[in-house]
Amino acid sequence: MTCPTSRSAPLLAATLLFAATWSPPADALRVTAQAPSVCQGALPAFETAIRKRPLAVQNEGDAPAFVTCALNNPGTSNGVTRISSAQVYVQNLGNASRPVSCTAVNSSAVAAPAAAAYLTRTLQVPPSATTSTEFSFAAGDFAGSPILLAGDTFGVSCNLPPGVGITGTVLNNNNF
């Protein structure tokens, strides 16, 4: 009579070997942030209309205001960083849908800041006290870049109508 575990030993060994050598997917580095920690008024003139609440950076003024967010990218591999995508979440506390424009800027802070890539998106943001609208910027959205620049900085500037705020940001780094 053979021991039932002797037949499963090779399978168990293979499973343990896989578990010991497995690594998360290349884009596993995901950096999330509440807007007040990474966003601010683009100019002092806009700061008077902007309120930094615990859950959002909100335009509480009567005119549009620009808010800029600098997303943190701590991931490196051999001194190179690769940003694969980023998201900005916008919430409209007003009574009607409003157009919001956000411009993403991806660049290398050291090597060639003049070679930055820009991409502007405009979305209609519906009114909601409970949900945010996602602005998504993916690698393929930037012309000529299968992955975003080998840079280390990613920023977004949004023109927020009255009643609209940024609630959070996400930066994904495919770190390979």
Write out pLDDT tens, residues 14-59: 433 433 443 445 446 778 888 888 898 877 777 777 888 889 999 9
Domain boundaries of the chain, sorted by first residue: 24-173
pLDDT bin (cut points 50, 70, 90) of residue 152 is low
pLDDT single digits (tens) 75-120 = 655 555 567 788 999 999 999 999 999 999 877 655 555 567 788 9
pTM value? 0.76
Kindly tell me the burial class for residue 65, based on how many C-beta atoms sit within 10 Å of its own C-beta (0-12, 13-18, 19 or more): buried
Domain 24-173 coded CATH 3.40.50.10380: no
Judged by phi (left if over 0) then psi (alpha if -120 to 50, else beta), residue 101 lies in beta
